[in-house]
Chain A
C-alpha cells in the first residue's frame, strides 16, 4: 500500500509523510536489531519455557518416553490432600506424594516465618547503629558485606565443617550436638546461615532508606518539641515503611526459593526435615531415581502462585498498618 502511494507524485505533503514513514520504519528495524539478542533469549528461555512448563505440568514425563497427557492428576498428586485425613492402619498406600503437603510446605513456611522477621529486625538494628555517625563506619560496612559476596556454596561448605560433630562451634561452646544430622537442629542451622548471609545486604538497603529521610522533617519535629521516641514512632518508622516492604518482600521470595544451602548442607535430610519447596522441585526433576518432570513442573507453578499470594498479602498488611499509624 505505502509503496503505491509514494510512487505517485502527489504534492509535497504526501512525499514528506512517506519519507517520515520510511524513517519510522527504519528506526523500528534498527530498534529490533538492538533488541535481537534479548528477544532471542527471552522468547526461548522465558516465553517458550513458561508455556512448555505449563504444558508439562499437565503431563506425566520421565524423560525416557514422550510426555503423556495426565490432566490435573499431577497437581492432585503434588497437593495430595488425602494425606491430611486420618487414615486407618491397614489402609492402602496413598496414590500420591505427600512430601509437599507434609514436609516441603510446612518446612518452607516455618523457614520463612523465622528467617524473614529475624533478618529484617537484625538488619534494621544494624542500620540504626550504622546511622549513628560512629567511627570506623566504613570498615564495619565492608565487613558486613563479606558474607554476602562469598558464594552460597562456599559459605555452606564452611558451615558444614564449622557445625560438624567435632567442629569449631561444638568445641567453642563445649557442646556435643550433631547439628546437621539431627532433625531437631538441622533446619535451624540452615536458618542461621541464611540470616548470617543476607543481613549485611539488607542492612545496606535500610541504611540507604534512613539516609534518604529529609533532615528538614527531623528539624521540624524538634522545633515542635517531639522527643526521640516520638520522632522514631511518627517519623522514622512511617518514612521507612516502603523500604521495610521491599526488604520483607525480597526476604520472602529468597526464603521460598532457598536451594543452594539445602542441597549442599543436608540434601533435604535428615528424615526430610529440611526439604523445602524449591529443593523438592529439583529433587523430583533431577535427583529421584524415577524422574517426575511433570509433577515437578506442577509444583513450580504452585510455588510461583504462593510467592505471588504472599507478596500481595504482604503489601496489604503493610499498607493497612500504614493507615493506622498515620491516623
Chain B
C-alpha cells in the first residue's frame, strides 16, 4: 500500500519535473522550429531570384547566396526578346480575369437562389451540388475535353442533311479553358451559406418598395456581400492563374499557352536557358504574391473557415 502511493507520487513528481524542464526550453525550441521552417519556405524563391539575376552561363555556379556576376539579361529577354513570354502572361491574365468575374457573379446568383427563393427540386439540386464537389476532376476530364474540343461524335451528329455539332469546337482556344470554369460548386456552396446567415429585413423592405428580385440582387444583395465576393474572387483568381491540367489538355500551340504551360514547354525546348525559366517563374509568382500581401486577411480567413465548417 505504502509503496503504491510512493510510486504514484514519484511518478507525478517525475512528470512535473519534466514539465518544468519543458517549460524552460519550450520557447527557444518553438522559435527554432518556426525559424527553421521559415528559412525552408523562403529558400527556393530566394535562390530563384538570385540565379535569375545571374547570366545564363552561371546558372549552376557559386556563389549561391549572392548574384555575382550580376545581370538583368534574363528579365530583359523575358519582357522583350522572347515575344512568347508577354503573350503567355496576357493569356493567363485574360483567362484568370474572365473566369473570376464570371464565377463570382454566377456563384452569387445561384447561391442567392438557393438561400432565399423557393422553387421545385431545390433540395435535390442542392444535394446534387454537394455530391458534385466530391467527384475527382479526373472523372470528368476526358468527356469535358471531348465536349469542349473535338465533340462527342467526330464530325457532328448527322440527321439527314443536317449536321449538329456535338462539341463547342474550342480546342486550342482560350474560350475552351474558360468555359467549364465560369461556375464552381464550391463557390455556390460558399455563397449559399453566407446568404443564409445574413438577415432578410433589408431585402423585405426593398420588396415593399416594389423592387423585383433582380433589382434586389444587384442593388442590395451584391453590395452587402463584397467581403465574401472578394474572398471567392481571390481564391478563383489564384486557382486559375496557377491552373495546369485543364489548360494543358486544351491548349496546343505555343502562342495560346498560359504562363505555367509556357514555362514548362520552354524548359523542355531550351534546356540550357533555365535562367530565363527562373525569371519567367518570378513573373508568374509576383502578381499572386502582391495580391496575397494586399488581401492576406481574406486568404487566411477563407482557409480557416473551410476547416471549421467542414470539420
Contacts and interface: CB of A to CB of B under 8 A. Distances in A.
Nearest to B107: A38
A162 B31 CA distance: 27
B144 interface: yes
Given A145-B300, A161-B274, A281-B138, A167 B19 contact: no
Interface centre among A46, A200, A242, A259 (most CB of B within 10 A): A46
B223 to A, nearest CB: 17
B138 A125 contact: no
A63 B140 CA distance: 16
Interface string B280-311: 01001100110011001001100111111011
A277 B172 CA distance: 26
A53 B139 contact: yes
A125 B154 contact: no
A35 B113 contact: yes
Nearest to A132: B30
Interface stretch (A69-77, A81-89, A207-215): A207-215
A24 to B, nearest CB: 7
A34 B34 contact: no
Contacts of B170: none
Interface in B38-60: 38, 40-42, 44-45, 47-48, 51, 59-60
A31 interface: yes
Contact of B136 (A205, A282, A293, A304): A304
Contacts of A146: 41-42, 45, 289
B119 A32 contact: yes
Contacts of B214: 30
Interface of A: 24, 27-28, 30-32, 34-35, 37-38, 41-42, 44-50, 52-53, 56, 63, 66, 125-126, 128-130, 132, 134, 136, 140-147, 149-155, 157-162, 164, 166-168, 171-172, 196, 199-201, 204-209, 212, 227-229, 242-243, 245-247, 253, 256-257, 259-260, 263-264, 278, 281-282, 285-286, 293, 296-297, 300-301, 303-304, 307-308
Interface of B: 15-16, 19, 22-23, 26-27, 30-31, 33-34, 37-38, 40-42, 44-45, 47-48, 51, 59-60, 62, 64, 102, 106-107, 109-110, 112-113, 117-120, 122, 125, 128-129, 132, 134-147, 150, 152-154, 179-180, 182-183, 185, 188, 212-214, 217, 238, 241-242, 244-245, 248-249, 260-261, 263-264, 267, 274, 277-278, 281, 284-285, 288-289, 292-293, 296, 299-300, 303-308, 310-311
29 contacts: A28-B120, A32-B119, A34-B117, A49-B144, A56-B142, A125-B33, A126-B37, A129-B34, A136-B34, A142-B293, A144-B38, A145-B299, A150-B288, A151-B241, A152-B260, A154-B281, A154-B284, A157-B267, A171-B62, A208-B303, A208-B305, A260-B245, A263-B245, A263-B248, A278-B138, A286-B249, A296-B142, A301-B139, A304-B139
